[in-house]
Amino acid sequence: MKKLITLSLLALGSTVLAQGTTIEFWHTFGDAKRSDWIAARAADYNAAHPGVKVTAVFRGDSNETLQSSILAARQNKAPALVQVDGVSSQLALDSGVFQPVGGVKSVDFGDYLKPVVSYYTVQGKVNSVPFNSSSPVLYFNKDLMLKAGLDPKQPPTTFGGVLKACAKFDAAKLGVKCMALTPFSWLFEQWMSEQNAVLVNNNNGRTGRATSTNIDSAAGRKVYQFYKDLQDQGYLTNTGKLADTVGTNAIFTSQKALMTINSTAGLGNILDGAKQNGFQLGVGVLPIPDGSKRNGVVIGGASLWVAKGASKPEAETALDFALFMTNTANMASWHKLTGYYPVRSSSVDLLRKQGWFSNSPLQIVAFNQLLKTVPNVANAGALSGATIQTRTIIEQGMQKVLGGQSVDSAIVSASEQANAAIAEYNKNFK
């Protein structure tokens, strides 16, 4: 309620007489590095387009931003452009306050990376402009690897490879855990995709509303088993909190673990940590279950949505700004700053020309992993309005396995709970 009131007060305050076009862009980056970059792009854009004013506003985390945008839209005060987390795409669609960007004006998405665009395409329509995209990779400590007699040039690429490397590392008795890994549903989703398994039915919710999950499947069990194997052998560590990537990264950069699996978007910070603690950082592809053919990663991150309630000039300005912010040069600079993918092929070419990959070879791993992804239903990612809840359920299941429960009982109950959550969400539409 308090939020609603501040919101409406703010909305009142920002009503400006239509002289030229003024729009707001609500985003989720509170840190100086990323929010300053966005503010600078808005300033660039305003300078290049006299009479048009784009204001970038930080609106809290992704959940808060979505909530504020939707409440504002219900009072006809919607910001013209909103950054929405990929995981909330179905919610954004169901809210009915956004419009597919293709409807504003025709956009050529040919230059955008295919797996990225495919994530934001529903039933043939591109709903939003891809912005910040990432996927998980294996981070490892080269110095510790050498100390244990492992080859840092050949990091493990499969679950079995990880366990083998851990066995050897453990035998070296360095008093350091092998793998820092938090119970993290985002990784579960990635591993489903790599095994060409959907996460929810109806083709990952893309041909119809999802009604059940595929958590309890051979593919899902392999992921839970991986957590169990690491834990049973005493290779695993984390902070104990669900999805605590910050804490896990801290353990890794403090050299209390040999490896960790995390988003490429964390590369900048992990690299800083490695420098501070004085070790050589290595990056490898995401290790996957043995015997699976790599089906590619699901794009994590967020995209830019245009409000339905925006007037035509406002909507066009919003889309134009979104395209400007994700143009070739801007995406290259965004990538260098943060570790997020540049979402355009031309940006990748530009970076290559600038010699970025030979100077920062760590980045290339993530690229190849993404560029090798051939879009299909599984790696397009799941659409479901209950994803935030099902993520917690998947993570609690992982935690149960780490606490000693069998994979079977943990995954069966996770699957039941997740199906119930989806059914509960779908009741909203009856």
Partner 1 sequence: MSLVRPTPKSRAVRAKAIRSQEARAEAAAAQEHATFRGRWLPWLFLLPTLLVLAVFSYYPAARTLRLSVFRANLIVGNEQYVGLQNFAELLSSPVYHQVIVQTLIFVALVVVLGLTFALSLAWLASKPIAGAKFYRLMLIYPYALSPAIAGTLWLFLFNPEIGAVNTLLDALIGVKPRWLDNPFLAFALVVVASVWKGLGYNVVFYLAAIQNIPGDVMEAAEIDGASAWQSFWRVAFPLLSPMTFFLVFTNIVTSLFDSFGLVNILTRGGPVYGETGITTFLVYQLYEDGFRNFKTGAAATQAVLMLLLVVCIVAMQFRYGNRKVHYGA
Contact positions toward partner 1, by CB under 8 A?
A: 1, 63, 66-67, 70-71, 74, 91-92, 94-96, 177, 180, 237-243, 247, 250-251, 254, 256-257, 385-386, 388-389, 392, 396, 399-400, 402-403, 421, 424-425, 427-430
Q: Nearest approach, Cβ of 135 to partner 1 (angstroms)?
A: 24
Q: Nearest approach, Cβ of 430 to partner 1 (angstroms)?
A: 8
Q: Nearest approach, Cβ of 184 to partner 1 (angstroms)?
A: 13
315 and 248 in contact (C-beta within 8 Å)?
Answer: no
The region, left, alpha or beta by phi > 0 then psi within -120 to 50, assigned to residue 396 is alpha
Q: Nearest approach, Cβ of 95 to partner 1 (angstroms)?
A: 5
Q: Nearest approach, Cβ of 46 to partner 1 (angstroms)?
A: 31
Alpha-carbon gap, residue 430 to 427, rounded angstroms: 5
Q: Which is nearer to partner 1, 43 or 423 (CB)?
A: 423
Q: Nearest approach, Cβ of 263 to partner 1 (angstroms)?
A: 19
Q: Which is nearer to partner 1, 247 or 375 (CB)?
A: 247
33 and 338 in contact (C-beta within 8 Å)?
Answer: yes
8-state DSSP, 82 = E
Read off φ and ψ for residue 344, nearest 5 degrees.
Answer: -120, 145
User: What is the CB neighbour count within 10 angstroms for residue 322?
Assistant: 25
341 and 116 in contact (C-beta within 8 Å)?
Answer: yes
Q: Nearest approach, Cβ of 320 to partner 1 (angstroms)?
A: 27
Residue listed under structure tokens 């059940």: 212
Amino acid identity, position 21: T
Q: Which is nearer to partner 1, 1 or 32 (CB)?
A: 1
Alpha-carbon gap, residue 384 to 426, rounded angstroms: 9
Q: Nearest approach, Cβ of 399 to partner 1 (angstroms)?
A: 5
Q: Nearest approach, Cβ of 389 to partner 1 (angstroms)?
A: 5
Q: What is the three-class DSSP state of 128? A: coil
Q: Which is nearer to partner 1, 288 or 394 (CB)?
A: 394
Read off φ and ψ for residue 17, nearest 5 degrees.
Answer: -60, 135
Q: What is the three-class DSSP state of 97? A: coil
Q: Which is nearer to partner 1, 154 or 254 (CB)?
A: 254
270 and 276 in contact (C-beta within 8 Å)?
Answer: no
Q: Nearest approach, Cβ of 394 to partner 1 (angstroms)?
A: 12
Alpha-carbon gap, residue 127 to 101, rounded angstroms: 5
Residue listed under structure tokens 């050498």: 146
> Which distant-in-sequence residues (6+ apart) come within 8 Å of 371 by Cβ?
113, 348
Q: Nearest approach, Cβ of 231 to partner 1 (angstroms)?
A: 11
Alpha-carbon gap, residue 73 to 1, rounded angstroms: 16
401-410: long-range pairs with CB below 8 Å, 24+: 401/224, 401/227, 401/228, 401/231, 402/183, 402/227, 402/228, 402/231, 402/236, 407/221, 407/224, 407/225, 407/228, 408/221, 410/224
Buried b / exposed e over 109-137, threshold 16 CB at 10 Å, is: bebbbbbbbbbbbbeeebbbbbbbbbbbb
Q: Which is nearer to partner 1, 180 or 362 (CB)?
A: 180
Q: Which is nearer to partner 1, 380 or 410 (CB)?
A: 410
